[in-house]
Amino acid sequence: MVDGIVIPQGTLIYIPIRAVNTCTAIWGEDAEEFCPERWLNLPKAYHPSYSFLSFFAGPHTCIGKAMAIYEMKAILAGLIANFEFEPTHEGQQANHTAGITMRPTDGMPLRIKRIYRPY
């Protein structure tokens, strides 16, 4: 039984990870928008294990979750410190598609310019 609903033994349940990751009840009306600053002031409805399911939760949590997050932070820090990124054309929008991972439908081409800093 889940939340008062009887679920027969052997029933397969699909957990829509993207739906949880963009749930307006948790993240607000702009849940579908790219807004990195939302992580600086998490909403009251946020739960550290169950509001962001990209690595799943509970006994089936990805064992590489912490390492993947640390790696991505290190890579982003290196990219942001050394490159500037801009869209290839005016009004370019990222339109996503679902698969094993989320990704832009057009590959999201960008202009990348190296930032030269004297050391």
The residue ranges of every structural domain in the chain are 1-62, 63-119
pTM summary value: 0.64
- The answer to whether 115 touches 83, Cβ cutoff 8 Å, is yes
pLDDT of residue 17: 86
Indicate if the pLDDT at residue 113 is higher than 90.
yes
Q: How far apart, in Å, are the Cα atoms of 28 and each of 20, 22, 45?
A: 12, 9, 10
pLDDT digits (tens, 9 = 90+) for 48-103: 888 988 888 888 889 998 999 999 999 999 999 999 999 999 999 888 887 777 78
